[in-house]
Amino acid sequence: MKTRRLLAFLLIATALFSSSCCSNEEKEASKKAKNVIVLIGDGMGPAQVYSLILTSQEETAFERFPYSGFSITKSASNEITDSAAGGTAIAVGKKTKNNMVGMTPDSIPVPSMLEMFAERGKKTGVVVTCSVTHATPADFIAHNIARGNNEEIALEIANKPILNVLFGGGKKYFTERKDGLDLISKMWDNGWNIYDSLSQIEDNSARTMVLTCRKHMVKAPERGNFLPEATAKAIEMLDNENGFFLMVEGSQIDFACHDNDSITLVEEMKDFNNTLNVVLDFAEKDGNTLVVVTADHETGGLTFVDPQGKYTRTDFKWSTGSHSAIFVPVFSFGPGAEKFSGIMDNTEIISKIMEIAQ
Ligand code: MG
Ligand code: ZN
């Protein structure tokens, strides 16, 4: 009798405990992400994503994301943002004026999510196909009143030990400088390994910068598989027990759209899509990685229409050589990904990420 009573008590206690703790859904929702990977398609509005879906025979990486939403991109100064202010809103969570990098409109530097993760002891990386000093990467790793101050931004990168991996272009801002400094040799002296191709990397644990060209890389497909390969290498180098933060930019989607070049846009989107597949394959296996894909703004005012209005053709139609005001998509995968559904302001992305991340 005593044993039976004890057994009943234990059964009730177990049932009470498990119901007051968490359902599987609650467990999943409260799970923290060890790693965070943010991918930015510069200039990638809804139509740029659709240009890939329209021209692709296979399922795209975008269709692998379980959650999606929209981000409103206006800056502190303009309804239509530039990349500097659009990226600043994502990287530091503050609206700023067009042209400004990582600071408020009154020039106060604000720490970026990359800097906060470095502070928490996570490894950090940035992978781009433009100069590493260009607006989008600079928003995550530097603070400057003007995006055009490439040499100042390079100096800030050289002086701050916040990055473990930096892959892209822009060597001239480190070596052909008005102040005559050779930042590459200075960085070697400070423990960095610096190369001009990914294949030269020997030590995965060293701080490593790969600058493949003087300024921006060539467009897709001429530059080969740099972006997916550099992203895979960065993940391999950054993955560790404390976690990592990685920002990857499809930098030249914007360039193709400024040129209203439909063929190059699709090539740039394929390259970004291959990169997303690399990231999602890792995140699926890892189970502790939050992946967020978004854009700083749309470029080109792109849509798809039949010029005769008869629904029989679907032509690319560009309405500007500049940026537009339309909101941009957000795609998310991994622990906490459901927080990115619905319409959000671009400044809200960082707070959602910091809430989800360990
Ligand atoms: Mg950019
Ligand atoms: Zn642009």
Give the pLDDT of the chain (358 residues) as one tens digit per residue: 455 665 555 555 555 444 444 566 666 557 899 999 999 999 999 999 999 999 999 999 999 999 999 999 999 999 999 999 999 999 999 999 999 999 999 999 999 999 999 999 999 999 999 999 999 999 999 999 999 999 999 999 999 999 999 999 999 999 999 999 999 999 999 999 999 999 999 999 999 999 999 999 999 999 999 999 999 999 999 999 999 999 999 999 999 999 999 999 999 999 999 999 999 999 999 999 999 999 999 999 999 999 999 999 999 999 999 999 999 999 999 999 999 999 999 999 999 999 999 9
List the structure tokens of 296.
Answer: 């700083």
DSSP string, 58-118: S--GGGG-SEEEEEE---SS-SS--HHHHHHHHHHS----TT-BSB-TT--B---HHHHHH
99: left (phi over 0), alpha (psi -120 to 50) or beta: left
Distance 299 CA to ligand 2 centre (A): 6
pTM, whole model, 2 decimals? Answer: 0.92
What is the model's pLDDT at position 213? 98
The bound ligand whose nearest atom lies closest to the alpha carbon of 82 is 2
Q: In angstroms, rounded to a whole number, what is the distance separating the alpha carbons of residues 227 and 274?
A: 8
Distance 208 CA to ligand 2 centre (A): 28
Under DSSP, the state recorded for 347 is: T
Q: For residue 274, which of 200, 224, 312 has the smallest C-alpha distance?
A: 224
The bound ligand whose nearest atom lies closest to the alpha carbon of 251 is 1
Bond into 221 cis (ω within 30): yes
Distance 135 CA to ligand 1 centre (A): 6
What is the model's pLDDT at position 31? 85
Catalytic residue among 83, 131, 251, 262: 83
The bound ligand whose nearest atom lies closest to the alpha carbon of 300 is 2
CA distances from 115 to 91, 188, 217, 240, 286 (A): 10, 22, 26, 18, 23
**Surrounding residues of ion ligand 1, Cβ less than 5 A:** 42, 83, 136, 251
Q: Is residue 248 within 8 Å of residue 229, measured between CB atoms?
A: no
Distance 107 CA to ligand 2 centre (A): 22
Distance 136 CA to ligand 1 centre (A): 4
Q: Is 107 a catalytic residue?
A: no
The H or E element containing residue 17 is helix 2-21
Distance 16 CA to ligand 2 centre (A): 57
Q: How far apart are the first and last CA of the chain?
A: 48
Q: In angstroms, rounded to a whole number, what is the distance separating the alpha carbons of residues 196 and 186?
A: 16
What is the model's pLDDT at position 19? 47
The bound ligand whose nearest atom lies closest to the alpha carbon of 254 is 2
CA distances from 66 to 14, 105, 252, 331 (A): 33, 36, 26, 8
Q: In angstroms, rounded to a whole number, what is the distance separating the alpha carbons of residues 253 and 299?
A: 9
Q: In angstroms, rounded to a whole number, what is the distance separating the alpha carbons of residues 227 and 128?
A: 7
